[in-house]
């Protein structure tokens, strides 16, 4: 076990790293952040910010020497960096699990290999692969880059072979997956914590809605039958066990209109749809990240109240600073801003959570707050 006041390292300085740092420091640990941005949100809350590239040899050596354990806030840290670090210090999740989760071809193949369902897909390595894929899939479909895609980026909707070829060119002819578009009832996510010894704790299933490919709202508990929530939880646990995973894992699902539950993708880290845990659960996903990193048993995941989380994007700053006084006039609404210096359209700047007696009550408050924030006097 790694106990306070040990130093914990985190690769990545965005909002997830920031919330990890806050949780770790609250629990008595010291935190070092490696991120090339001198103004990174996590760097401003850490005990030490190493402003260097993720493959900088001196920075890697310094982390390995001083940190008792290291985690990541995003999956696209260079694989070589993770491998160098885990040769000298505990890195959780490990490079093998991250390598699978960061590549859609490996990810979907791994999921199928272990008997779990996804939408039908084909791996696309060259333009020649598109012909057979388009013949065998029911179009329309989504062409997605195998790596580096997030928040709707790196993907193109295609309706025929010609559009597939044009889309592949648009995506720079990098490896992709061509995935059949399913008829959606709704989207769900499961976030769990798994220790190095296989102890697990699962948060309540979240119900997600997106806008322009970016998560907009998460409702908890999800408004689905208990059997569906249980199936999603079981599938996420199976996936974590197959990966021999240690850390916080998020698994996103499609629930189709014909009742099928399909794994969309996984994230080897805390997830945007789990931010509600900061205000509505006994332990947050970031506290779980600290616990699993340090060899501690996961904490309890009791949901203390129904909750709705709403993302705040940079678009809200188009007409100046948002009128936060409107949000603060609601006694059961909590604001979380991420400390980013520049607001841009589509950029996640923060979120707010609404607590209430029912999900429907929380949603009503959430929409009222949204309207008030958009209104300028």
- pLDDT over 90 at 76, yes or no: no
Q: Mean per-residue pLDDT for 248-252?
A: 98
pLDDT tens digits for range 357-374: 999 999 999 999 999 999
pLDDT tens digits for range 162-216: 999 999 999 999 999 999 999 999 999 999 999 999 999 999 999 999 998 899 9
In the chain, CATH 3.40.50.20 sits at: 7-91
In the chain, CATH 3.30.470.20 sits at: 184-374
* CB-count exposure of residue 198 (10 Å: 0-12, 13-18, 19+): exposed
- pLDDT over 70 at 15, yes or no: yes
Q: How many CB atoms lie within 10 A of CB 359?
A: 19
pLDDT tens digits for range 56-66: 999 999 999 99
Q: Mean per-residue pLDDT for 43-65?
A: 97
In the chain, CATH 3.30.1490.20 sits at: 120-180
pLDDT tens digits for range 301-359: 999 999 999 999 999 999 899 999 999 999 999 999 999 999 999 999 999 999 999 99
What CATH class is the domain 184-374?
alpha beta
Domain 120-180 CATH assignment equals 1.20.58.710: no
CATH number of 7-91: 3.40.50.20
């Amino acid at each position: 076990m790694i106990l306070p006041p040990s130093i914990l390292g985190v690769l990545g300085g965005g909002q997830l790293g920031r919330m990890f740092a806050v949780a770790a420091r609250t629990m008595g640990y010291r935190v070092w952040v490696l991120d090339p941005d001198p103004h990174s949100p996590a760097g401003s809350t850490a005990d030490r910010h190493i402003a260097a590239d993720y493959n900088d040899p001196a920075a890697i050596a310094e982390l390995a020497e001083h940190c008792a354990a290291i985690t990541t806030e995003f999956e696209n840290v260079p694989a070589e960096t993770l491998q160098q670090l885990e040769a000298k210090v505990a890195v959780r999740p490990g490079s093998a699990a991250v390598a699978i989760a960061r590549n859609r071809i490996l990810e979907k193949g791994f999921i199928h290999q272990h008997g779990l369902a996804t939408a039908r897909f084909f791996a696309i390595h060259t333009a020649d692969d598109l012909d057979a894929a388009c013949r065998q899939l029911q179009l329309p479909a989504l062409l997605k880059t195998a790596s580096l895609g997030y928040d709707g980026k790196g993907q193109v909707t295609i309706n025929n072979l010609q559009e597939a070829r044009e889309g592949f060119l648009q995506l720079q002819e990098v490896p992709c997956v061509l995935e059949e578009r399913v008829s959606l009832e709704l989207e769900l996510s499961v976030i769990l914590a798994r220790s190095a010894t296989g102890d697990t704790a699962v948060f309540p299933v979240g119900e997600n809605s997106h806008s322009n490919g970016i998560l907009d709202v998460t409702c908890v508990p999800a408004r689905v039958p208990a059997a569906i929530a249980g199936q999603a939880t079981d599938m996420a646990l199976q996936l974590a066990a197959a990966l021999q995973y240690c850390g916080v894992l998020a698994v996103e699902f499609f629930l189709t209109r014909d009742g099928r539950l399909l794994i969309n993708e996984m994230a080897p880290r805390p997830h945007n749809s789990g931010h509600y845990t900061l205000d509505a659960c006994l332990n947050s996903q970031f506290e779980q990240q600290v616990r699993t990193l340090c060899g501690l048993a996961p904490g309890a995941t009791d949901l203390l109240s129904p909750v709705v989380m709403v993302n705040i994007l940079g678009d809200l700053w188009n007409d100046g600073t948002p009128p936060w006084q409107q949000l603060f006039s609601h006694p059961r609404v909590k604001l979380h801003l991420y400390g980013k210096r520049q607001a841009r359209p589509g950029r996640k700047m923060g979120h707010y959570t609404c607590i209430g007696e029912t999900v429907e009550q929380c949603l009503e408050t959430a929409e009222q707050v949204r309207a008030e924030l958009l209104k300028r006097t």
